[in-house]
Structure 1
């Protein structure tokens, strides 16, 4: 909250909050995919899962796999064990977006149980964050100058500045792009999806205190 404070014997100051936003086109996509297999025993479920992902692992060698997570558990129905289930979950990063369509087509052909993505991010957000911070400081300064003018005072030097809660960050302009679907359809369906890289909104916010001069 913007405010003006002043006490006898102390420097009068005005404290303002500034925000800044810039947009950048995403240059990295994240795809989450899960393969499942059922078996009478855990060992059988794992064996069948290994067969299902045997064609997937070579495909992923040319991509950045951020996570591989194996889950094996028994299935129960009315307190009765009815077999076992094995799952392999992948989190895949794709920086060369021209390869995204091909990856999704290959994954669909491998018939996973679940695909979600792409989620859009930036490989390097440093430049965008600095630009958003610059706008946030300029916004705080404009507000401070407005309060100083309203009080018939002059704005003095900056006394302190810091991030507000949350500081800088970014998010897709829309929460998520691409598609989320269970089981695989024909590989041609990927061509019908809108997989164009989204705009990322990079934001920053700060709180600054300025001295007030007569």
Structure 2
């Protein structure tokens, strides 16, 4: 039994030798590996606002009813302002007791707070300030967390990828020249992680009565990093 096992193992090893030889040939190919980086910026064309209503009352029912009525006014105001139903989504609902400031270990409920927050997509960033003013005018008293982004970043990312590969080639050519070799074909290309947008120059100021809300949309920057392995050949 032992002899048969040894023979079987030897045959398996022989069968694997061509694959190992092929892999070894690839590993032995002279090459240079470099990273290329690129960024593309564009003004955002989509905004997202978190807003809602918080209502206080003596009882949980009173707080909930007051909050429901107030939020209904906010939602109606958004619809009147031209925001589609599909662009308004409930983000958080809560009903919590409010406690008096007592000594440690003592908890006295003095009322309840009901809150309802929604996330609003604004597909025309020029209307963001107007939407915020509409929210506040309709009774929203919990407004914040405004984000700007590009609705379809694919084209921007593709531009960044082309620039990143060109940056990798530029670096590889510098190394090849310094080493006295010639740059060949790329052997592999990989992208680092998921491209993350970098948001710049976005501000939000709390609205004041009679004063339009100042909002700066800034721009969005998408960055790409690629790793490219290039074959090299002896120089001329």
Deviations 1:96-148 (A, max 9, x none): 23332321111121232221153211111111010011111111111111111
Structure with more strand by fraction: 1
User: What does 1:57-206 correspond to in 2, within 5 Å?
Assistant: 57-61=75-79, 62-63=82-83, 64-77=87-100, 78=102, 79-164=107-192, 166-174=193-201, 176-179=202-205, 181=206, 185-186=208-209, 188-190=210-212, 193=214, 195-206=215-226
Query: What's the secondary structure of 2:162's corresponding residue?
Result: helix
Query: What's the secondary structure of 1:54's corresponding residue?
Result: helix
Instruction: Judge conservation of contact 2:52–2:71 (CA < 8 Å) in 1.
Output: no
Instruction: Judge conservation of contact 1:69–1:89 (CA < 8 Å) in 2.
Output: yes
Alpha-carbon distance in 1 for matches of 2:88, 2:74: 12
Alpha-carbon distance in 2 for matches of 1:118, 1:10: 53
Query: What's the secondary structure of 2:211's corresponding residue?
Result: helix
Structure with more helix by fraction: 2
Instruction: Judge conservation of contact 1:34–1:114 (CA < 8 Å) in 2.
Output: yes
Tell me by how many angstroms 1:34 deviates.
2.6
Unaligned runs of 5+ in 1: 1-6
Alpha-carbon distance in 1 for matches of 2:34, 2:194: 15
Alpha-carbon distance in 2 for matches of 1:196, 1:91: 19
Tell which deviates more after alignment, 68-77 or 39-48.
68-77
Tell me by how many angstroms 1:209 deviates.
0.8
TM-score w.r.t. structure 2 length? 0.78
* Root mean square deviation, CA, Å: 2.1
Deviations 1:3-55 (A, max 9, x none): xxxx9x81111111111111111111111113100112211110011121221
Tell which deviates more after alignment, 86-95 or 71-80.
71-80
Deviating beyond 4 angstroms after TM superposition, the runs of 4 or more aligned structure 1 residues are none
Instruction: Judge conservation of contact 2:74–2:140 (CA < 8 Å) in 1.
Output: no
Q: Which has the larger radius of gyration?
A: 2
